[in-house]
Each structure stands twice: as C-alpha cells, then as structure tokens.
Amino acid sequence: MGIVHDAFLWHLQTEQADHDRAWQEAHRHHLAVSDLGHCVRKAYLRLRKSQETRPHDDYVLSLMRDGNVYQDDTARALAAWYGSQVHWDKDDPALCVGDDKWLGHMDFLVNAPAGPVIIEHKATNPDNFKNRSRLPYPFHCYQLAGYGVLRQKMGFPPAQLLLYYRSWGHWAEIELFSNECGISWEGEFDGECRDGMIETPVMSKMAAFEQWWDSKELPPRYETPLVAPFTCTKTDRHGVVRPGCLYFGVCWPEVQESEDGALDVSPWKQV
Ligand code: SF4
C-alpha cells in the first residue's frame, strides 16, 4: 500500500529537494544568516562547495516540508489581519537582508504603526513544549537577531524581533532583545510567561564566522561526533545514532556505518 505515501514521498523528493537545492545555490557566495548558532565548519564546507556525503533523507525533508506548510498557513493569517502592512511573499525583496558577507531572508516583516517588526517562524516538535528548557533554541535567536543587525546596517531603523513557534496543539511567541551583552528574551508558551538570556552576543557569533571565512582555513571539527543535537549526528527514538549533517563523511571518515545507516560511536561514548 502506498497510494498516498508514494505520492507524498515523490513530492518531497522533487519539490522539497528542489527547494533545498535552490537555497544552496542562492547562498553559494555568502554566509547564511540561518548558519548563525550552528557549526561554523559546516558553513565553511558549504561555501567551499565540498561534496555532501549525506543528503537530507525523507524524514528530514518531511520535517522541512511541515515547516513550510505551517509557515504558509501563518502567512495567510498575517496577510488577512495586517493587509498591506505585512511582507510575507518569499519573493518579496523587502524580506531580503545582507551585505558583502551575509545573506538572509526574513520570514515576515510587519510595518506596524509603532515601528517595524521582524518575525521568524518555526514549526517544531510538540515534545519541545514538554521539555521546558528546549525553546527557544539559541540558533533560532541568533538567526533572528542577525536579521536585525543586518537590517540596521542597511540603514533601516531598529525593529522589534519576534520568534513564533507553531506545533501540533502548541504555540509560543517570544520577543528578543539583542545587544552587546547577549540576547534576552521573554514570551508566552501556550499562554504561560517565561524569560531567559543567551550570553554570547550575536555580533560575536557573526565575527567568529567572518573570521574563519576571511582566513580561508577550514575550521576544526567538533571534539566528538556526539557533541550536541543538531550537529554531527542525530539519535532516533530507539537510541540508534545516525549521521545528522550533510558533511558527516568529510569530518568523520573513520566512523563505521552499517548498511542501515547506524553509526558505531562506541569509542566516543566511553569518553
Ligand atoms: S559533521 Fe559535525 S563538525 Fe562536520 S560540518 Fe557537520 S556539524 Fe560540523
């Protein structure tokens, strides 16, 4: 039986994979604002057009597709509510930010009477609402704060920074305050107020990426392939560790991989 799922997989492997390739092509010569908070070596390898050893699998492509579906739905809501005050079309040049080194595309920009509002939209796993320490992910905060920095460099006035999460049955709306001390945040998670602080300022993160890019030296890999989620590996619900990065084979050629993609990471588990 694959009457529906075969169609869905075909759709993923064509439209979503094409979308992913178009993104890679558009960011061939620039650091991506969405790189901020992630592995600097990964950004460097992409810019150097290193061979991807681990293209996105169907699971990751389907998560990306879910994110686009949620975002399209929120775009319709914002367009209906704010009318011409909101920029939401992905091809709208008003959503593009950058300079000679960086390029990014904001999800939404609202020209509110009190001033501009940049909105970064993320779909996320409902489990992230059960584990209270997970959201907001620092890399989402750095991405949004990076848009704010670049937009001001382009001569626009400071903007309010909003991060909006949607999930099955959950939502969070979080405002960021970014300055030379770091990024503080406060927001509502399913209506409950919470706040927090990320201590490394976005400018320091951006400077670190620029420094590696200018030096033309490959940044070092992490000390282990198990360093943290969203880096080299991912662990599935059965505890099986698999490659989690497009460049896993470039960075960790010595790690044995079984036929079904499971990795032997026992040497690092003992560290
Ligand atoms: S495999 Fe790990 S160290 Fe290498 S680019 Fe990916 S995240 Fe960075």
210 CB contacts (<8 Å, ≥6 apart)? 31, 101
Evaluate whether 126 touches 135 at the Cβ level (below 8 Å): no
Specify whether 50 is located in the same domain as 171. Answer: yes
Ligand 1 site-directed mutation target among 49, 139, 224, 251, most atoms within 8 Å of CB: 251
Pocket (CB within 6 angstroms of ligand 1): 39, 41-42, 45, 221-222, 231-232, 245, 247-248, 251
Kindly state whether residue 2 falls inside one of the protein's structural domains: no
Ligand 1 site-directed mutation target among 35, 41, 51, 223, most atoms within 8 Å of CB: 41
Q: Mean of the pLDDT values across residues 2-18?
A: 86
Specify whether 147 is located in the same domain as 232. Answer: no
Specify whether 44 is located in the same domain as 142. Answer: yes
State the residue range of the domain holding 268.
223-271
Specify whether 66 is located in the same domain as 186. Answer: yes
In this predicted structure, the answer to whether residue 121 has a pLDDT above a threshold of 90 is yes
Evaluate whether 121 touches 130 at the Cβ level (below 8 Å): no
68-86 pLDDT, tens digit each: 999 999 999 999 999 999 9
The three-state secondary structure class of 263 is strand
46-71 pLDDT, tens digit each: 999 888 888 888 888 888 889 999 99
| CA–centroid distance, residue 142 to ligand 1 (Å) | 19
Total domain count for the chain? 2
Specify whether 146 is located in the same domain as 244. Answer: no
Specify whether 201 is located in the same domain as 247. Answer: no
Evaluate whether 143 touches 161 at the Cβ level (below 8 Å): no
Residue nearest atom 2 of ligand 1, based on CA coordinates: 232
Specify whether 160 is located in the same domain as 78. Answer: yes
179 CB contacts (<8 Å, ≥6 apart)? 201
